[in-house]
A and B are shown apart, each in its own frame.
Chain A
Amino acid sequence: MSTCSVSKGCFVFKPSPKKRRVTQETANDFRIKTDDSEDSELRFITCQSLWNQIKSETEQIQEDLNKQLFDNLVSFLRQSHSEFQEKTSEWTCRMKSREIPTAALVLGVNVTDHDITFKSLSEVLQNNITPYIALLEAKDCPGIKNLMQKLMGQLMNCYIDVDSLEDEDYVQVSQNRIRCSMTSLISWYESVTKKTDSENLSKKRTSSSRHWQSPPVVVIFKDMESFTTKVLQDFIVISSQHIRELPLVLIFGIATSPMIIHNLLPHSVSSLLCIELFQSLSCKEHLSTVIDKLLLTTQFPFKLGEKVLQVLINIFLYHDFSVQNFIKGFQLCIIEHFYSQPLSVLCCQLVDAKKRINYLSHDQCENIRRLPSFRRYVEGQVSEKQIALLTEDSCIKEVTLKLLEDLNVYHENYVSVLRCLHVFTSSLPKYPLGKQIRELHCACLENRVWETEEYESSLQLARMLNKSDLVTMLQQCVEIFVSSSGKEFDKTVEKLKDFLTQFQKLEEAFQEQDVSVSSQKELQKKTDLYHLQKTLLELKESRRSKKLTKFEMLRFEVVDYIDSLVRNYLVPADHKTLHEIVYFNTASVLREHLNAAPRIALHTALNNPYCYLKNQALKSGGGSISNKAPDICIVYKLHLECGRLINLVDWLEAFSTVVMAAEGPNADAPSSDQVDDIIHARFIRAVSELELLGFIKPSKQKTDHVARLTWGGC
């Protein structure tokens, strides 16, 4: 998919098998750039192992999320040709026109993720249903002929893959693969199924029982939208005629909506299909699970800073909806962090970190001292301690270890309290702090969440919650804390449970109260209208000034308690000492890599060549055009001053003036109206380069003019 191939990051970070081979070199790269000692090799190894962990984790997530969908599909495929298996000769079966069983698989617009889904799908099918699977892509099938060729090639090869024993067969196939028609496909299928049958009889293999005697042939159309109508129609018509001999099942991968089937196929064709719809999980949910499992856990020591996370999420939401790209971005963050931050050697599990701290070199200790957060910490200490910290390496190692432990505890607590707060905020009307936990997470990382207006308003709303909601929320919170790994939450759990029992008591008390109130009301009924009005007014008055009920008091207490938890535990990470070790915060690097802006880059290159060439002579101030710049830059700058149509002669004049200025006054001897041939040639070359870059094109409206393709100017 072109989406990922445009940005820089995706080129650099191809999947790992390639990286394996160049491991040594990459490790060297790490070292060379950071000049010396700073544990580059160890960092590289840590980075690798961390990424491998994360990768397997994400794959696991993907598998879990797709499980439901795949199960449904498998059962559909099992059913689809059950009639074919039984070979019934009942009246209904005889009379019914055989439709091709078709699964319409709606996968969402994130086309980049589909490849992986299809890969795992075909794996699942291969294990459960049938060895005969063909994956077709629209770009391979411009005509029905190509489609058939591709289909037969894949089917016959996959047969070979399954039983690689029969090499002779393969040779045979390749020899007469010229006839790509349905008949040859059917005869192939018959021969294959017969062969396996006989094999089964002779060898009595048990393993083959996972496939039936005549397994269906599954054809997957990866991108339904891009197929041309005619190819699809022809293929369906052809295969529907042979459906009795060849148990075919189609799977349409659909990115937009199932309506596309009706748009692509006329009724006469779609009536040959028996379409069932399968919908995959939305990519947003997928992202939430990924964030939940990768970021909001203490399993991985590496963390993302607020801005970085925001960049990644924005790319996801605004641009591509691709979870794959999100994970790629995450990978880039990891590599960049371990590459650029020498102290990232400590970004590992706490046990390892303890060992590593002891082996830290003096340079590394200096690095720690240079960290802004550590400096702040030192300034807070008494003066003797300050001196010790700044001079003795052993002291700093001790302190670092302690601080790292603190940081770890902070993370443990942070996650649980964040989830707890999310329970509250996610049920408030209008979601002042966001509906998703990732929004809340970002808000908490950004600055002190309790100082924001949104937090204020959400607390206010929380103070108006009704009791049943409040109780269920508290119960959820108790569950979160109980399951969390933090050690400090015993008290919290107790406190919350205490709240719950109080609510229960309140309920009982309230019921009693209810009885008394109703009796009061009965008394009131007997009074006349005047009195009634009076009492009502009094009641109203009293309610206004009345003290809060017990329930309200309790509610306030609960909200205050949650507030105190938040203030205690949800301190933004950059207020923590040594946060630089585990947090990756340089969003600008990430943005540069992932959000490439080719037009802007081109403009800067041409407008300000110094930016890329780093040649002192090119350093020019303001709008003046330096004659030392490359020709194309001069031509580009001149063309910015023109309108939509550019007169070539004028342009040449201007160009030669600028260039001649270089030679200075001593070179003005040749007549000024005659342009030098060399300058002319340079001009022509520069203009054709601009045309190649797509800034201008020849115009037919006026002779000797070219048209600008961009707009705007200096």
Chain B
Amino acid sequence: MQVVFFFFYPLQLPHVFVNCVEYFTSRLLLEEILIQLQSCCSETEQTSHVPCDTFNDFVRLFKQAVVSRELQDQTLYIVLDRAEQLREMEANILPAFLRLQELTDRNVTVVLLSEIVWELFRPNIGCFEPFTLYFPDYSIGHLQKILSQNHPPEYSADFYAAYINILLGVFYMVCRDLKELQHLAVLNFSKYCEPVVRGEANERDTRKLWKNIEPHLKKAMQTVYLREISSSQWERLQCDNREPGQLKGLSAHTHVELPYYSKFLLIAAYLASYNPVRTDKRFFLKHHGKIRKTNFMKKHEKTSNHLLGPKPFPLDRLLAILYSIVDNRVAPTANIFSQITSLVTLQLLSMVGHNDQLDGPRYKCTVSLDFIRAIAR
């Protein structure tokens, strides 16, 4: 919802617009502000590169820049988008920005844009409280008005508005992001127009058009919106008028082929992650003690283990379980050990604790029960 950008343009206010994700270190950020500042008023002059390492330098250079551009009499705006990133930089950056006016003694306003509440920003060293302004969510009415504004030149505004109405009816439940909705609207509009182009319906025949487009939109929600298939593929599908069933989405390819022992290792890891240690003896030894049936305990475990998530286990336990679930003897060769590491790089297992710990590394199994079932088959 970065409409603020459009707010500054027409007003011809001197402003600097910076995305904090893009300029990921404080130095890059400060330099970018200065560069934009230098170029924002006099675009003809090629600016020279000035190194700016600390906030102190920034304040000094900032003053110079303001003086040289003759901006003393105007209010200068610095807009920081995705301001939550500022918290990741040096501790002094955020408080300093909040006191920029005081520090530079110039007429300057800092605007922080963020999707999270101010309470999460507050640094421990304390800072100047900004003036918080909440940007309300768009209601469905607003969305419709905004989306209908940009109608294609070939069709009337009413026609497009009707289309937007239908679109919102389908997508409003799942998506309220304006950009995404706009994107979807454009993607599916040609399909909506199809009956009109073919002459089967005129522009007012909304009911007929609705019938035509509705299943199509629903399909779009399941595929394009989730990025199961890409939008260019979707467009090609529309052109060919094929069923999207032919194109498998991303999540259709869930099957992973693994080497024989990797499968067993993964299964062993899963067992080690989700079974408590004391049941190992009962499950994996041939001559175990009597199974004490304590019903209460069992029920308690069953509900909890999968909800609690995987637990870490030591390497030895993994190998012990592996030996007991593989039919024939497994020699502990280097190949087996390297497979464990490659499972970690494939993110099927994850290492718990420090990476440099050589004695007794601990792992966690990160795959789901369904995945294990598919493998074990």
Tell me the A residues contacting B by CB distance below 8 Å: 1-3, 6-7, 79-80, 91-92, 95-97, 99, 101-102, 104, 106, 108-109, 111, 144-145, 176, 179, 181-183, 223, 225-226, 234, 237-238, 241, 255-262, 267-268, 270-271, 273-277, 279, 282-284, 315-321, 595-600, 694, 697, 709-711
Contact = CB atoms under 8 A, between A and B. Distances in A.
Contacts of A319: 259-262, 335-336, 339
B256 interface: yes
Contacts of A271: 177, 180, 227
B338 A99 contact: no
A258 B257 CA distance: 13
Given A145-B24, A225-B347, A600 B331 contact: yes
A258 B345 contact: no
A99 B345 contact: no
Interface stretch (B54-62, B96-104, B203-211, B228-236): B228-236
Contacts of A95: 150, 182-183, 185-186
B259 A318 contact: yes
Nearest to B358: A694
A320 B339 contact: yes
Interface in B220-245: 226-227, 230-233
A109 B346 contact: yes
A319 B231 CA distance: 39
Given A271-B227, A599-B332, A179 B28 contact: yes
Given A97-B183, A270-B227, A271-B227, A3 B32 contact: no
A109 B338 contact: no
B40 interface: no
Contacts of B231: 96, 99, 274
B327 to A, nearest CB: 13
Interface residues of B, number: 62
B301 interface: no
23 contacts: A2-B342, A3-B338, A7-B335, A92-B152, A92-B189, A95-B150, A96-B183, A101-B232, A111-B342, A181-B22, A181-B23, A183-B32, A241-B19, A256-B256, A267-B227, A268-B177, A271-B180, A315-B335, A316-B259, A319-B339, A320-B339, A321-B258, A597-B334
B304 interface: no
Q: B150, B186, B227, B331: which has the most chain A beta carbons within 10 Å?
A: B227
Name which of A145, A225, A257 has the most chain B CB atoms within 10 A of its CB: A257
A321 B259 contact: yes
Interface in B39-76: 49
B360 A697 contact: yes
B334 A598 contact: yes
Contact of B256 (A3, A92, A109, A711): A109
A275 B335 CA distance: 35
Contact of A234 (B24, B182, B259, B335): B24
Contacts of B152: 91-92
B22 A182 contact: yes
A104 B227 CA distance: 12
Q: Top 8 A-B pairs ranked by shortest CB distance? A: A258-B250, A6-B334, A319-B335, A318-B260, A274-B230, A596-B334, A91-B152, A597-B333
Interface in B276-326: 316, 320
Contacts of A261: 250
A254 to B, nearest CB: 10
Nearest to A271: B180
A6 B360 contact: no
B153 interface: yes
Contact of B331 (A102, A144, A256, A595): A595
A316 B335 CA distance: 11
Contact of B22 (A179, A226, A241, A276): A241
A709 B316 contact: yes
Contact of B21 (A101, A176, A234): A234
A194 B360 CA distance: 58
A292 to B, nearest CB: 20
B301 to A, nearest CB: 26
Given A3-B339, A318-B260, 8 more contacts: A3-B342, A92-B152, A109-B256, A315-B335, A318-B261, A595-B331, A596-B333, A599-B332
Nearest to A275: B230
Contacts of B139: none
Contacts of B250: 104, 258-259, 261-262, 275, 277
A276 B227 contact: no
Contacts of B227: 262, 267, 270-271, 273, 275
Interface in B9-38: 19, 21-25, 28, 31-32
B377 interface: no
Interface in B103-137: none
Given A111-B342, A145-B24, A241-B22, A595 B335 contact: yes
Given A697-B359, A697-B360, A709-B359, A258 B259 contact: no
B332 A96 contact: no
Contacts of A101: 230, 232
A97 B21 CA distance: 19
B187 interface: yes
Contacts of A145: 24-25
A276 B342 contact: no
Contacts of B262: 109, 319
A10 B196 CA distance: 67
A179 B359 contact: no
Contacts of A262: 227, 250-251
Contact of A179 (B31, B187, B261, B336): B31
Contacts of B339: 3, 319-320
Contact of B360 (A7, A79, A709): A709
Contacts of B256: 109, 256-257
Nearest to A181: B28
B92 interface: no
B179 interface: yes
Contacts of B316: 709-711
B348 interface: yes
B258 to A, nearest CB: 6
B257 A282 contact: yes
Contacts of A226: 345, 347
B259 A2 contact: no
B198 interface: no
A81 B150 CA distance: 25
A111 B316 CA distance: 25
B346 A181 contact: no
Contacts of A3: 335, 338-339, 341-342
Contact of B257 (A96, A108, A318, A710): A108
A282 B227 CA distance: 25
B333 A257 contact: no
A109 B253 contact: no
A111 B345 contact: yes
Nearest to A273: B227
B331 to A, nearest CB: 5
B255 interface: yes
Given A241-B19, A318-B259, A319-B339, A277 B253 contact: yes
A284 B258 CA distance: 11
A1 B335 CA distance: 12
A637 to B, nearest CB: 20
